[in-house]
Amino acid sequence: MFTRVEPAVHGALDFAELERLGIQPDEVLDFSVNSNPFGPSPAVRAAIAAAPLDRYPDRESLALRRALAERLGCLSEQILVGNGTAELIWLAAFANLAAGDQALILGPTFGEYERSIQIMKASAQNLNASVASSFQPNIPEIDQKLDSTNFQVVFLCNPNNPTGQVLSIETIGAWADAHPETLFIVDEAYLAFVGGMESALQLRRVNILVLRSMTKDYALAGLRLGYAVGDEQVIQKLTAIRPPWNVNALAQAAGLAALNDETHQQVTLAQLQEEKHLLLEGLTALEFAPLPSRTQFFLIPVENGATFRKGLLRQAILVRDCASFGLPRHVRISPRKHAENLRLLETLKKLGVR
């Protein structure tokens, strides 16, 4: 039976909307997507240019999985590469949920978790951190929730989108130990943006599946690339149901080249942290009150997120209206390059929006 599931709302350019507004996509400064704004390493561009277009890609992404396994200190059999982390979120839900199962989402967070649960006709429970605590997760409340229900799956995003809050791996490990029948899916898409953050991979628990994105930190949004790391049997379940040739040759080549130029990532992400601080200062000077975040992106309270976004978009500047996260009075901003951040600040000053 066909299940009707509404699409999740995401940041990034909506090309149809821009066409309606008569704005060219190339004109838009996009602060709504949480990517590395400095672009990919030149080595990535070279690798893409050299990738064969007329041959099917390696269906197992072997070279990339081996390179990742070496860096992560695990077996390549513990890794599945995906066409973006979004594909892996879906595969994780498809492989581990059935109609009637219970799944928990620690929110407010990325919309595809709930959507993947709905597709499986499982039941999604959301436990949201509150604005009053600047969206810091309420650990005792989560403990209680986990004890109250036999969840098949728990989705948690660490660091979290859109709040930039972080859970310690000790907390995640304690949950995994207390609930051995539950699979904890830990989305670490933004881990690289938080200096020195520990990964749940270190816990090496069979009931923790870690998802990572190379789309964001290596600036590959036009290609999209992600991987899942976990227990061999859990990975096998996802692998068994993935679409054939799910990762194209350009993305595989780009991923390998990106891994081989870690300096580019380190230098650009350090620069991005500096830009974040300057942008926060500029916004504070304009009497905005950005919320604390460990990631490069952060939330700011506004009178009306949708109106705020629309006003800026008419000036070819895009921010993320957070209504879909249940936060209609917040927008999310991810810093860009210096001159672009200055343009955002100048535009906000000129428009006088709140």
Ligand X SMILES: Cc1ncc(COP(=O)(O)O)c(C=O)c1O
- Quote the least distance from Cβ 180 to ligand X, whole Å: 25
Tell me, residue by residue from 28 to 67, as one string, x for binding to ligand X by CB under 6 A and - for no binding.
Answer: ----------------------------------------
116 near ligand X (CB under 6 A)? no
- Quote the least distance from Cβ 222 to ligand X, whole Å: 10
Residues whose CB falls within 8 Å of the CB of residue 173, separated by 6 or more in sequence, listed in order: 200, 203, 205, 208
- Quote the least distance from Cβ 225 to ligand X, whole Å: 6
72-111 residues near ligand X, rule: CB under 6 A: 84-86, 110
- Quote the least distance from Cβ 198 to ligand X, whole Å: 18
Q: Which CA distances in Å does 73 have to 68, 172, 259?
A: 8, 20, 14
State the Cα–Cα distance between residues 301 and 288, nearest whole angstrom: 7
- With residues binned 3-state (H G I as helix, E B as strand, rest as coil), the percentages for the chain, rounded to 5, are 45, 15, 45
Q: Which is nearer to ligand X, 137 or 348 (CB)?
A: 137
Helix (H) or strand (E) holding 273: helix 262-285
Q: Which is nearer to ligand X, 187 or 275 (CB)?
A: 187
Q: Which is nearer to ligand X, 251 or 353 (CB)?
A: 251
Selected binder of ligand X within 61, 152, 161, 207 (CB under 6 A): 161
Q: Which is nearer to ligand X, 215 or 315 (CB)?
A: 215
Q: Which is nearer to ligand X, 114 or 348 (CB)?
A: 114
- Quote the least distance from Cβ 350 to ligand X, whole Å: 29
* CB-based burial, 275-287: b 16+ in 10 Å, e otherwise: bbeebbebbeeee
Residue nearest ligand X, Cβ-based: 84
Q: Which is nearer to ligand X, 135 or 315 (CB)?
A: 135
Q: Say whether the peptide bond before residue 108 is cis (omega within 30 degrees of 0).
A: yes
Size of the site for ligand X (CB under 6 A): 12
State the Cα–Cα distance between residues 335 and 275, nearest whole angstrom: 6
State the Cα–Cα distance between residues 304 and 234, nearest whole angstrom: 43
Q: Which CA distances in Å does 260 have to 59, 66, 67?
A: 21, 13, 9
State the Cα–Cα distance between residues 189 and 91, nearest whole angstrom: 16
Tell me, residue by residue from 236 to 275, as one string, x for binding to ligand X by CB under 6 A and - for no binding.
Answer: ----------------------------------------
- Quote the least distance from Cβ 111 to ligand X, whole Å: 9
Q: How many Cβ atoms are within 10 Å of 270's Cβ, its own excluded?
A: 10
Selected binder of ligand X within 157, 247, 257, 317 (CB under 6 A): 157
Q: Which is nearer to ligand X, 210 or 300 (CB)?
A: 210
- Quote the least distance from Cβ 51 to ligand X, whole Å: 19
State the Cα–Cα distance between residues 244 and 129, nearest whole angstrom: 38
| Nearest by Cα to 109 from 336, 324, 311, 276 | 324
- Quote the least distance from Cβ 281 to ligand X, whole Å: 26
Q: Which is nearer to ligand X, 103 or 353 (CB)?
A: 103
Q: Which CA distances in Å does 95 have to 17, 77, 234?
A: 35, 17, 9
Q: Which is nearer to ligand X, 110 or 298 (CB)?
A: 110
179-238 residues near ligand X, rule: CB under 6 A: 187, 189, 213, 215, 224, 226
- Quote the least distance from Cβ 11 to ligand X, whole Å: 7
Site residues (vs ligand X, CB under 6 A): 84-86, 110, 157, 161, 187, 189, 213, 215, 224, 226
